[in-house]
Chains A and B, each alone.
Chain A
Amino acid sequence: MNFKKYLKVYKKFLHTSLASELEYKTNILIDLITAILSLIGSIFLLSIFFQNNTSIGGWGFEQSLIIQGIYTVLNGITNTWFNPNLTEIVKHIREGTLDFVLLKPIDSQFFISLKKIAPSGFLEIILGFCLLIYCIKINQINLNLTFFTLCLITIICSICILYSIWFFISTTTIWFIKTWNATEVLRSFLYIGRFPLNSFSFSLRVFFSVFIPIAFITTIPSEVFLGISQLWKILLEVIVALVFLLTSRKFWLFALKFYSSASS
């Protein structure tokens, strides 16, 4: 079975990349402190915003913490999977090693998207979940099955959208060779995901829902978390996620036609 093969290959990926990453143990410790400080920093920034205000964009402090939590989880996922792998695409293309990937009897997108893993991102994911659990407590959210399924669906959709954007930008390397900095631009835009979309002016809100759908990435899951999201928004997010995934796949296959190896 095909699926079994991919699962087996993925297990091997995990094994090799974990082994190489654990070589740098002090690094992981430093990354842990960095993740904690970064979370404290963003909560500090939020507390400045709420010093004399009770709400920004209709979100109270306790509710904004949910966005912070979801952002932290997604950022952890980005740092664990997307960042180490998709920055590698740039290297593959510049040095011509993409040839070796394409020759392998395995899907090239699967290979370059999941080859590596950076375990320090796990800590961020755990921190994010801890914050979310705390948010459940302070916002007195009822836990039931629909809550969990809807949360899971929207978060999975967010991950898909996030992955597609990263993959899309990395794919453009095939034409532009050096797009390492483009991912840096994306990173600074994603920073906006820490705050509720409603706290921005109308024009920025439109920009961040249409061009870079950051609105879908953190705001909708947070609304679902609070139980105030309408059904059409959730459906829209699912559709957007599917469109993004399919487009990124199509775009990769299209871009590969233009790949002309290094020095050939």
Chain B
Amino acid sequence: MVSNLIKNKISTLLKVQYSTMMEYRVEIALWAISGIIPFFMLNIWTNNNLNESINISNIMLSRYFLCAFFVRQFSVVWVVFSFEEDSLLGKVSPYLIQPLNPFFRYFAQHLAEQITRFPFALVIAFFFFIFNPESIWIPNLGSLFLGIISTFLSFLIQFLIQSIIACLCFWTEKASSIERLLFIPTLFLSGLLAPVVSFPEYVKSWIYLTPFPYLIDFPANLLSGNPINVIGGFIMQILWIILFFPLFRKIWTTGTKKYTAMGS
């Protein structure tokens, strides 16, 4: 009974959000294009033979960066910006009355956007293969399956972190600047610009204890078939989710108690 209700709610939310997202196809295409930085990085790496020193062949590196692009495409989160706007405009108040945590709404929004984004990402990958025909490969089903799961877990971690930051909107009006601050270590340490294997030793010694390498580096290595500690990676991903989830619940309940609608 309860599970049926949840299923109904979720499928309705997804349908609504998907049709909204389809209205903004061009916008989503542009978002997809704005994520091509990994390809520029790949160009620097291979063009200067920087990969020789870290023992990754050109082909494996190009697959890695292609997968990094894909993982990034399907783990982009912007809930802070949506929530900040909604809370500044007072839209959160009606959401709070509904018997549904508003973050489900944002969650469905993200999932719907990912579905809309998928074909565009495929087109970009197609062009990538035209320019790099030697890097075409068919990942085996097992690693593809594990890669998709770890990408989804990476999305969950980022969604939880951002939701926690978004809840800070209850205390300060502009939480998005905190998100921009947190984006910097995510950008440089997650493996989007350089694979974590290439990091100097003094960083590698502690980086695997932080959530960052599990956001892009771990799923991208899984997908591209580069060597990686699979079980350890999944354990760390799940551990971070277990850690962040109660934190989010706590900050959400304290925040909603503190919430005073705009103009009241």
Contacts and interface: CB of A to CB of B under 8 A. Distances in A.
B50 A192 contact: no
Contacts of B172: 26
B170 to A, nearest CB: 15
Interface string B42-76: 01100111101100000000000000000000000
B149 interface: no
A230 interface: no
B104 to A, nearest CB: 26
B174 A27 contact: yes
A187 B183 CA distance: 15
A175 interface: no
B30 interface: yes
Interface stretch (A3-11, A36-44, A239-247): A36-44
B34 A178 contact: no
Contacts of A51: 53, 198, 200
A41 B184 CA distance: 7
Given A45-B193, A188-B35, A30 B177 contact: yes
Nearest to B180: A34
A236 B5 CA distance: 67
Main secondary structure of the interface of A (DSSP, over half): helix
Chain B interface size, under 10 / 10 to 19 / 20 to 34 / 35 or more: 35 or more
B188 interface: yes
A47 B184 contact: no
Nearest to B200: A51
Given A27-B174, A48-B200, A51-B198, A37 B50 contact: no
Interface of B: 24, 26-27, 30-31, 33-37, 40, 43-44, 47-50, 52-53, 172-174, 177-178, 180-181, 184-185, 187-188, 193-194, 198-200, 203
25 contacts: A24-B173, A26-B172, A30-B178, A38-B184, A41-B188, A42-B188, A44-B203, A45-B188, A45-B193, A48-B194, A49-B44, A49-B48, A51-B53, A51-B200, A52-B50, A52-B53, A53-B48, A53-B49, A56-B44, A178-B24, A180-B27, A184-B31, A188-B37, A191-B37, A201-B43
